[in-house]
Amino acid sequence: MIIDWLKQNNCNELHIQYDAGSCCTFVIALNTIYHNRGNGGTRMKSYSSADEGIKDAIKLANAMTKKCVVIGDEDNGGYSGAKGVIIGDPVIQKTREMFRSYGRFVQSLNGRFQTGCDMNIYPDDLEYMAEQTQYVDGLSSTRLGDGGAATAYGVIVAMKTICQQKYGTNSLKDKIIAVQGVGSVGSDLVRRLFEEGAEVIVTDVNSDRLKYVMDKYNARVVSPEEIYTVKCDIFSPNACGDVLTAENIGKLNCYLVIGAANNPLANGLQSIKQMQERGIVFAPDYVVNIGAQVLAICEVIGKSFDYANNKIQEIIQKRLRQISLEGETMYEAAERIVHQEMLRT
């Protein structure tokens, strides 16, 4: 089963370690075929099983590889995709020693895995990893900026680029945008949409986050179930993957789907076809959400924050224009282009 997951996800290496001190399981998934070292954040999550966590790491490594291909060899620093997953409850199992142990695990790959923040992992946590490994980016002393904010900026660039293509103007003013998830990416996205003059509808499972964005940006709040049904111009998934199931796609009341969530399609091309039948355009997540990846790579190779921001805009605009001219859905065009470019290496 694991071998099948690897084959299906452009992933050729899987490293697993059980940490007896914390009772957590560490997973690192790599694609070292496209390039011989991988870049990707580490997340911590309480999965229903170890298999679920391993599968998530493999799927996410595939998404990160696609991002590196989209960024292109001139700008990706010679990186392929990778992902770290800590299988454990971040509320009760997150400790300094656990992060030190994970840092030793990262170091054991001798630079073939460069990592930083992802879900439930924050800059302070990275400091403990960095005591045991040099292959960590996003540290408070060296980071170029916040990865969540960089990703949110890329989502805004994508929204404006696609609106220009569809409506003849890149203005988001008065556009109704439903934002699913207001964590580090979603909350900054809401801020940017507010500044653009958009009308924002939000949801999250975390009531404190919702209250914050509601009070600060006068956003309308709906339940997690209702977010799929609200009438809007753009539905923006910015939380977990696999949210665009057949049932949820059937509920959508929007024209565009543009968001930062990795792997939001529950059924790949079948999900795209279902949206296409309903007249909904889907922007491929691994084109839209490259912001944090670009920022991390720029930090490692010694570029500036402004350089990273300019690259995020340049790459997303270029790739969206490229895949919108291919005479097929943007998803199919992106998949084909990524496959072709990977074969050339």
Q: What are phi and psi of 230, to 5 degrees?
A: -65, 140
Q: What are phi and psi of 239, to 5 degrees?
A: -120, -120
Catalytic residue ranges: 83
Q: Which residues does 109 contact at the CB level (< 8 Å), separation at least 6?
A: 15, 28, 30, 135
Q: Which residues does 46 contact at the CB level (< 8 Å), separation at least 6?
A: 87, 88, 89, 90
- Per DSSP, 157 falls in state H
For helices 291-300 and 305-324, angle between their N-to-C axes, nearest 10 degrees: 140
CA distance 289 to 318: 14
Cα 6 to Cα 31, 264, 293, 305, distances in angstroms: 9, 19, 22, 34
**Greatest CA separation found in the chain?**
58
CA distance 193 to 188: 9
Q: What are phi and psi of 29, to 5 degrees?
A: -110, 135
Residue 266 CA from chain centroid, whole number: 15
DSSP secondary structure letters along 182-202: -SHHHHHHHHHHHHHT-EEEE
3-state secondary structure of 257: strand
Q: Which residues does 24 contact at the CB level (< 8 Å), separation at least 6?
A: 18, 44, 86, 87, 88, 93, 98
Q: Which of 90, 8, 84 is nearest to 296 (CA)?
A: 84
Q: By CB neighbour count within 10 A (0-12 exposed, 13-18 middle, 19+ buried), where does 34 fall?
A: buried
